[in-house]
Amino acid sequence: MLGKGVVGGGGGTKAPKPSFVSYVRPEEIHTNEKEATEKEVTLHLLPGEQLLCEANTVLKCVQEDSCQRGIYGRLVCTDFKIAFLGDDESALDNDETQFKNKVIGENDITLHCVDQIYGVFDEKKKTLFGQLKKYPEKLVIHCKDLRVFHFCLRYTKEEEVKRIVSGIIHHTQAPKLLKRLFLFSYATAARNSPATDPKKHAVMFDTLQDWCRELERTKGNMKYKAVSVNEGYKVCERLPAYFVVPAPLLEEDIEFFQGRGIPIWCWSCHNGCALLKMSALPKEQDDSMSQIQKNFSDRIYRTVHRPPYETAKTEDLSSNFLSLQEIQMAYSKFKQLFLIDNSTEFWDTDIKWFSLLESSSWLDIIRRCLKKAVEIIECLEAQNMNVLLLEDNASDLCCLVSSLAQVMMDPHCRTVFGFQSLVQKEWVMGGHCFLDRCNHLRQSDKEEHQRQLSLPLTQSKSSPKRGFFREETDHLIKNLLGKRISKLINSSEELQDGFREFYDGWHSRPPSYQGLLLPHLEGPEIKVWAQRYLRWIPEAQILGGGGVATMSKLLEMIEEVQRLQEKIEARHHSQEALQAEAASPPRTSGRLSSLFPFALLQRHSSKPVLPTSGWKALGDEDDLAKREDEFVDLGDV
Amino acid sequence: MASAPTSKYNSHSLENESIKRTSRDGVNRDVGETLPRLPGEIRITDKEVIYICPFNGPIKGRVYITNYRLYLRSLETDSALILDVPLGVISRIEKMGGATSRGENSYGLDITCKDLRNLRFALKQEGHSRRDMFEILTRYAFPLAHSLPIFAFLNEEKFNVDGWTVYNPVEEYRRQGLPNHHWRITFINKCYKLCDTYPALLVVPYRASDEDLRRVATFRSRNRIPVLSWIHPENKTVIVRCSQPLVGMSGKRNKEDERYLDVIRETNRQVNKLTIYDARPNVNAVANKATGGGYESDDVYHNAELFFLDIHNIHVMRESLKKVKDIVYPNVEESHWLSSLESTHWLEHIKLVLTGAIQVADRVSSGKSSVVVHCSDGWDRTAQLTSLAMLMLDSFYRSIEGFEILVQKEWISFGHKFASRIGHGDKNHADADRSPIFLQFIDCVWQMSKQFPTAFEFNERFLITILDHLYSCRFGTFLYNCESAREKQKVTERTVSLWSLINSNKDKFKNPFYTKEINRVLYPVASMRHLELWVNYYIRWNPRIKQQQPNPVEQRYMELLALRDEYIKRLDELQLANSAKLSDPSASPSSPSQMMPHVQTHF
């Protein structure tokens, strides 16, 4: 048997410390080579996708019950993905396959998903980039979705190693032209996308009507109007073709500073107050220019500060809130905690888990985002004020804060289509620079720091909703948001008191899921979103456990109730006919992992995972640790 | 019991006994309500005080003291605050301030509770009201120091279920398939002559004679010999518990003890090693030799493998819990929550205890070998490990009654020193014998139930109720250190069992998601990534950190359950109506919309 007991085993806490690579020696390799050759796995290419290079007899190393296991296969690189073609997808049972990704297989890594590539040379791990002089024995790929792949190249022909390694490095690291992105060749090749029913579709906000409907839906149409002044992007390229501004605003005003300095409508609250955003006017040195700016601002200000408009509170996100650098730095520290190479690393970091987590500041950032959204809601709801979010380009923190506030206030945003529409409205149409923030074109590292901004949004929303739990979302959000926290930083005492009262008041009443939902902002409640972050770590899986266990019980019950409901209805329609209808068997949930549906095959057996390092000196408590539990009277003995 | 308008605050506490507050509508709904009293509870005194609430500031109220509880009702119109605290929970009472200090709150009392909170009162200077309250509280909170009985002996509550009958050792061993031809039940300890901290009834290897047992007893700390706790129904490996061997500095040996362990090993013929888990850290086990203790070295016990599980002693655990209190009460540490939590080491200890129990369970479940578990005396860490391993291995213990039996067996009957660890009715708050070992066990159970939310019949409230009554002294369940003492005091005759309260009202303690799965071994993941601080217990006094009760998923599930039952009933009715209609075809069917109950939940 391959590798059983190569790493770990024994009395749990006494496992030998494996080196980082823990190679499987050739003679230990238990492969399914025979099966693999029998069942030739074919490469699935999307329309327009091209195979670029490949290598055979690559060994994919998987960790299982603290042993290394190897699977032979072919490693390929296309213009869309890196794929490993081996035969390790056998153990999927039906319940699990229904959540399989149809485009990206378990062993596929899209080129844009690659975060970092390492090579292992003589048991040493080095980052790989550019032209290589020496080719590694092993390739370790860290993905942006936190998967970690180990490909052993020892048994691969030398020229194939060269081809695949340099191919992968080139296609994942070299700067790319926008037009070379795979989606363009895909779109050309796969022309015939079927027309979709607009009712079963997220709102795209690419027509004037979409905006008008959103205005109607939120009853904002009395004071705000949709404008088409930017049709053809004549005024500004950053702004969408259509957007919404206060009704009295003139087209010239919008054109004056190319859409800067203009309050742009995001959303209207039930009491008529609105959430607005504005990109700042350019900083002017020239006195006359700044005078012009001042006059302009004053005029705009007068327009939106007189009835019917509520007084507006300006929230300057560029200067009084998180910086993009802070967010980026925190995330790069944070994600490192989940890119784990092996079991030893997992347990070594386990002991200091909480302080590692804290030092990344990520959870604190999440909390501050949530808190900012709650503060804005307090203004809108309790103080009946408009809130104007101000940011240089109004396309980063504005998107984040405004969409968070809407998720909390507007139950529509907690449905699947509503949430998709929100992302479309605030992020896509809101001009968030996804290309730069995600660095899809692999530009220089300078801009790296600007990435990952949309992550706080998804993290603070958590939730396994994507088509899985449908309207369950409403309930879940409360549950999940309810588990987030915030410490109370900043601003004036008075403001703080109002905020505190609003926040405490809301939490002292039973929540209505069809109304406002506020997250908990206190310390112990903000936790790591396990299903996203821990999903690929075998050690972190609880077989048959986690929230998934109750969720699947709930789903089973929903199905049962629906079945009964149909039965009753059927019985009313045809009284006699259905006497003998066979009851469809209830769906039995298999033993799912706590990280389902993300993690399917990570652990094959039900053996317990045992920490391999638990002991830690207690420091200041040492003297206590040495004491006897009881006073032992030696005479007794 | 008081019905507070904001039910939100009730769920966390001992059957509504806690802080309640009206919304700011100013209606005092509690006027005219009387002091709740149990049968046998006597009112001693009442005083007007100011309760210095750490969350809402000073509140004027009237405090009533009985021989069981301290009960405070707010006298302010905009607050319906009620405090209902069993005196048993009090660990320490201190006077604060006095004639020399200034301010209206100068005559104060600070009451430290065992359940991680403090109560502060300010009293009037006149009429020696503070002195009175101090003396009365001291007297009834610490009855042992005043030759008074513990309240459990005065409690006259009646329940329709007798909790004392829940655990019958013979029945429990029979359930496990014992005796069999390798294991026998012995009454050698009937009068607690062999070991005064063990139960009367023990299961020992068939091949060991009573004389052997007596000889082994001389070599085990406090005569706590290795006896069977649990046997695997299929592979017949066993979990055996005991105390440390009395090896001492000179490395003493005892042939009978060595042979006895070998006999245990031989009850299972498939394997040739016996696994001994010593719960202590290696260094402590070595150090214990100096006081006559020690461990089974492999050059003497040839057929045994010894592993240390690195679990710390009772003093370390006590200090750790103190640190937990420091970061959660009254205010939750805000700026560095995670590192503060880490510095308490509390979850780290939980992790080690769980890891140890997983190892024990895995050994036995995999059929690798039988397991002997001990620490120093075998009543703290040993009880934690055996009971948690049994909970992992045997789904019976995950039911309400099964869990009661587990506690009754592994903790109460095997002499976990509840009286010393908790200090029931004892005023010596600084006693080094006190330690939250049982709380730590319940925390581990909670962590497991959190990881496997469908595997336990009981809910969080069940666990919290157990912990509340661990201190309350309302029931006899946790009184005294061992079975012999309980028998001497006739506890089962003179007091009520906590299980009477729980079993006569089981629905309250049931987990709706429970799915019975026989023979499923549960292995929790003992990683910090999954362990969490039990907020609903440790931070339950803080109104800001209240979790929703019940949680939305549970609430939704309960709605669906009700809906399902309703539909099933309706279907049955339809079936009846149909058969009736067949005989009377003139009756017109009503429309489905009229017949369908209104569906509250949308899918």
Q: What is the percentage of chain A residues whose pLDDT exceeds 70?
A: 74
The overall average pLDDT reported for chain A is: 80
Per DSSP, helices labelled H in A305-433 are: 317-320, 324-336, 343-350, 353-360, 362-381, 397-409, 416-422
Probe site for chain B from A344, A612, A628 (most B CB atoms < 10 A): A628
**Residue B428 marked as a ligand binder:** no
Backbone angles phi, psi at B444, to 5 degrees: -60, -40
Sequence-ordered list of residues with C-beta below 8 angstroms from that of A153, at least 6 positions apart, any chain: A55, A58, A59, A135, A136, A137, A138, A139, A161, A164, A165
Instruction: Give yes or no for A617 touching B (CB within 8 A).
Output: no
Sequence-ordered list of residues with C-beta below 8 angstroms from that of B277, at least 6 positions apart, any chain: B306, B307, B308, B309, B356, B359, B360, B371, B372, B373, B374, B385
**Residue B417 marked as a ligand binder:** yes
Kindly give the pairing relationship between strand A312-316 and strand B57-66: unpaired
Instruction: Identify the three-state secondary structure at position A336.
Output: helix
CA angle B384, B390, B394 (to 5 degrees): 155
The answer to whether residues B240 and B385 belong to one domain is yes
Q: Is B329 within 8 Å of B118 (Cβ atoms)?
A: yes
Q: At what angle do helices A362-381 and A397-409 cross, to 10 degrees?
A: 60
Q: CA A505, CA A493: separation in Å to the nearest integer?
A: 18
Sequence-ordered list of residues with C-beta below 8 angstroms from that of A42, at least 6 positions apart, any chain: A85
**Residue B313 marked as a ligand binder:** yes
The answer to whether A614 contacts B453, with C-beta atoms less than 8 Å apart, is no
Q: CA B99, CA B86: separation in Å to the nearest integer?
A: 30
The answer to whether A554 contacts B599, with C-beta atoms less than 8 Å apart, is no
Residue with tokens 């972050």: A533
Amino acid A453: pLDDT = 56
Amino acid B598: pLDDT = 42
Task: Using CB atoms, pick whichever of A507, A564, A608 lies closest to residue B523.
Answer: A608
> Does residue A636 have a pLDDT over 80?
no
The answer to whether B545 contacts A524, with C-beta atoms less than 8 Å apart, is yes
Exposure string of A505-528, with b = 16+ CB inside 10 Å and e = fewer, is ebbbeebebeebbbbbbbbbbbeb
Number of Cβ within a 10 Å radius of residue A575 = 15
The answer to whether residues B68 and B191 belong to one domain is no
Instruction: Give yes or no for A5 touching B (CB within 8 A).
Output: no
For the four alpha carbons of B418, B419, B424 and B427, in that order, the dihedral sign comes to negative
Sequence-ordered list of residues with C-beta below 8 angstroms from that of B298, at least 6 positions apart, any chain: B304, B305, B306
The amino acid sitting at B413 is S
Instruction: Identify the three-state secondary structure at position A48.
Output: coil
Q: CA A534, CA A612: separation in Å to the nearest integer?
A: 19
The answer to whether A571 contacts B574, with C-beta atoms less than 8 Å apart, is yes
Sequence-ordered list of residues with C-beta below 8 angstroms from that of B493, at least 6 positions apart, any chain: none
Q: What is the pLDDT of residues A84-105, one digit of tens each?
A: 998 655 444 444 555 677 788 8
**Residue B421 marked as a ligand binder:** yes
The answer to whether A524 contacts B533, with C-beta atoms less than 8 Å apart, is yes
CA-to-CA separations, B124 to A279, B60, B103, B108, in angstroms, rounded: 61, 12, 11, 9
Q: CA B113, CA B83: separation in Å to the nearest integer?
A: 13
Backbone angles phi, psi at B250, to 5 degrees: -80, -5
Considering only A164-178, A596-610, B323-337, which range has the smallest mean pLDDT? A596-610
The answer to whether B567 contacts A14, with C-beta atoms less than 8 Å apart, is no
The answer to whether A479 contacts B551, with C-beta atoms less than 8 Å apart, is yes
Q: Is A487 within 8 Å of A374 (Cβ atoms)?
A: no
Q: Report residue A208's pLDDT band, with 50, 70 and 90 as the boundaries.
A: very high
Considering just the CA atoms, what is the radius of gyration of chain A in Å?
A: 28
Instruction: Give yes or no for A633 touching B (CB within 8 A).
Output: no
CA atoms within 13 A on the CB side of B583: 4
Backbone angles phi, psi at B3, to 5 degrees: -105, 105
Q: CA B410, CA B407: separation in Å to the nearest integer?
A: 6
Counting the structural domains of chain B, the total is 2
pTM flag (> 0.90): no
Q: Report residue A245's pLDDT band, with 50, 70 and 90 as the boundaries.
A: very high
User: B583 contacts in A (CB within 8 Å)?
Assistant: none
Amino acid A29: pLDDT = 44
Is it true that the peptide bond before B179 is cis, omega within 30 degrees of 0?
Answer: yes
Scanning B40-79 for CB atoms below 8 A from A yields: none
What is the average per-residue pLDDT within A227-231? 95
Q: At what angle do helices B437-451 and B381-393 cross, to 10 degrees?
A: 20
Q: Is B143 within 8 Å of B567 (Cβ atoms)?
A: no
Of residues A633 and A575, more confidence is placed in A575
Indicate if B482 belongs to the active site: no
**Catalytic residue selected from B113, B195, B375, B444:** B375
Q: CA B530, CA A594: separation in Å to the nearest integer?
A: 11
What is the average per-residue pLDDT within A112-141? 92
Instruction: Identify the three-state secondary structure at position A74.
Output: strand
Burial of A131 (0-12, 13-18, 19+ CB in 10 A): exposed
The amino acid sitting at B495 is T
Residue with tokens 């209240």: B546
Q: CA B593, CA A209: separation in Å to the nearest integer?
A: 37
Q: What's the gap in Å between the CA of B527 and the closest CA on chain A?
A: 6
Scanning B106-145 for CB atoms below 8 A from A yields: none
End-to-end CA distance of chain A: 51
Instruction: Give yes or no for A515 touching B (CB within 8 A).
Output: no
CA-to-CA separations, A565 to A541, A580, A597, B566, B600, in angstroms, rounded: 36, 17, 28, 10, 13
User: B316 contacts in A (CB within 8 Å)?
Assistant: 618, 621, 624-625
In chain A, where the domains are located: 51-90+102-184, 208-445, 538-566
Per DSSP, helices labelled H in A174-263 are: 182-189, 208-217, 251-256
Whether residue B30 lies inside any domain: the answer is: no
Torsion region of B344: left, alpha or beta (phi above 0 gives left; psi -120 to 50 gives alpha):
alpha
The answer to whether residues B421 and B291 belong to one domain is yes
Chains A, B: CB contacts within 8 A come to: 261
Scanning A11-30 for CB atoms below 8 A from B yields: 11-14
Q: Is A168 within 8 Å of A52 (Cβ atoms)?
A: no
Q: Encoding tokens for residue B209?
A: 């004679």
The amino acid sitting at A339 is L
B316, B283, B304, B358: which is closest to A612 by C-alpha?
Answer: B358
Q: Is B14 within 8 Å of B8 (Cβ atoms)?
A: no
Task: Using CB atoms, pick whichever of B8, B452, B527 lies closest to residue A539.
Answer: B527
User: B352 contacts in A (CB within 8 Å)?
Assistant: 614
Domain carrying residue B293: 169-533
Probe site for chain A from B553, B578, B591 (most A CB atoms < 10 A): B553
Q: What is the pLDDT of residues A400-455, one digit of tens each?
A: 999 999 999 999 999 999 999 999 999 999 999 998 888 888 876 544 444 455 55
User: B375 contacts in A (CB within 8 Å)?
Assistant: 629
Whether residue B418 lies inside any domain: the answer is: yes
User: B570 contacts in A (CB within 8 Å)?
Assistant: 568
Task: Using CB atoms, pick whichever of A355, A525, A610 lies closest to residue B355.
Answer: A610
The answer to whether residues B226 and B268 belong to one domain is yes
Q: Report residue A510's pLDDT band, with 50, 70 and 90 as the boundaries.
A: confident
- Decide which of B489, B513, B533 is a domain's last residue: B533
Helix (H) or strand (E) holding B354: helix B346-365
Scanning B231-260 for CB atoms below 8 A from A yields: 246, 248
Whether residue B588 lies inside any domain: the answer is: no
B222, B133, B255: which is closest to B417 by C-alpha?
Answer: B222
The answer to whether residues B449 and B372 belong to one domain is yes
The CATH number of whichever domain residue B133 belongs to comes to: 2.30.29.30
Residue with tokens 């030998």: A16
Q: CA B467, CA B448: separation in Å to the nearest integer?
A: 17
The answer to whether A561 contacts B248, with C-beta atoms less than 8 Å apart, is no
Amino acid B447: pLDDT = 98
Number of Cβ within a 10 Å radius of residue B16 = 18
Per DSSP, helices labelled H in B455-596 are: 460-472, 483-488, 491-494, 498-503, 535-538, 552-583, 592-595
Closest residue in B to A346 (Cα) is B527
**Residue B377 marked as a ligand binder:** yes
Mean pLDDT by 10 residues, chain B (603 residues): 38 41 38 78 94 92 96 90 96 84 73 97 87 96 96 97 98 97 96 97 97 97 98 96 96 96 90 93 94 94 95 97 96 90 97 97 93 97 98 98 98 98 96 97 98 96 98 98 97 98 96 91 95 95 76 89 93 83 56 42 43
Instruction: Give yes or no for A227 touching B (CB within 8 A).
Output: no
Probe site for chain A from B529, B551, B568 (most A CB atoms < 10 A): B529
Scanning A327-386 for CB atoms below 8 A from B yields: 346-347, 350-355, 357-358, 363
CA angle A575, A579, A584 (to 5 degrees): 120
CA angle B391, B528, A457 (to 5 degrees): 120
The answer to whether residues B358 and B442 belong to one domain is yes
The answer to whether B526 contacts A551, with C-beta atoms less than 8 Å apart, is no
Considering only A258-262, A610-614, B17-21, B359-363, which range has the smallest mean pLDDT? B17-21
A237, A241, A291: which is closest to A260 by C-alpha?
Answer: A237
The answer to whether residues B76 and B195 belong to one domain is no
> Does residue A40 have a pLDDT over 70?
no
Out of 3.40.50.970, 2.30.29.30, 3.40.50.1820, 3.40.30.10, which CATH number does the structure's domain A51-90+102-184 have?
2.30.29.30
Q: CA B82, CA B80: separation in Å to the nearest integer?
A: 6
Kindly give the pairing relationship between strand B238-242 and strand B371-374: parallel
A295, A301, A296, A297: which is closest to A313 by C-alpha?
Answer: A301
